[in-house]
Structure 1
């Protein structure tokens, strides 16, 4: 396992132990970065108009199209570190 993958895995654990729940926009960013880092570009059908949450999540992930998996992992790790330090919400 690469160092980046190990740090990404640790960030996944750390994000579940945050003392405060991040804002909805930050949660969307975390979701999109996680999906891009673990699966690459968005794929599959876009959720329908009545599935608001699913649609927002898919669109956030889709907006990262072309971002490399490594870059997404690095951004995810950095965002989790910011949240842990209280720098953002």
Structure 2
């Protein structure tokens, strides 16, 4: 099966997990998804220092800067498979 189709299936499977993953895993999933679909982050860091959720999401995605979309897709697929 082609990587894009496997990724799309993993995204669908992520919505049917039996247990909600821990926050750090959710951040990892978010960052891998964004890196897979959009590539490196180009947005400015959040300016509101009290918006902790947005800051955490930004930081998680920023850590993946330079990772290829294909590699991010493979890691996302593997993480979802591990969580199932």
Q: Common fold, TM-score beyond 0.5? A: yes
SS at match of 2:9: helix
Q: Give the number of aligned pairs.
A: 83
TM-score calculated relative to the size of structure 2: 0.95
**What TM-score results when the alignment is normalised by the length of structure 1?**
0.90
Q: Give the 4+ runs in structure 1 shifted more than 2 A.
A: none
Q: Does 1:76 align with 2:70?
A: no
Unaligned runs of 5+ in 1: 85-89
Per the TM alignment, residue 42 of structure 1 is displaced from its structure 2 partner at its CA by: 0.8
Which whole-Å CA distance do the structure 2 matches of 1:50 and 1:43 have between them?
Answer: 21
Once residues 36 and 23 of structure 2 are traced to their aligned partners in structure 1, the CA distance between those partners, rounded to angstroms, is 20
Offset, 1:45: 1.5
Deviations 1:21-62 (A, max 9, x none): 000000000000000011000111111212110010010000
Q: Which segments of 5 or more consecutive residues in structure 2 lack a partner in the other structure?
A: none
Give the alignment's Cα RMSD to 1 decimal. 1.0
Structure 2 CA distance for aligned equivalents of residues 65 and 16 of structure 1: 25
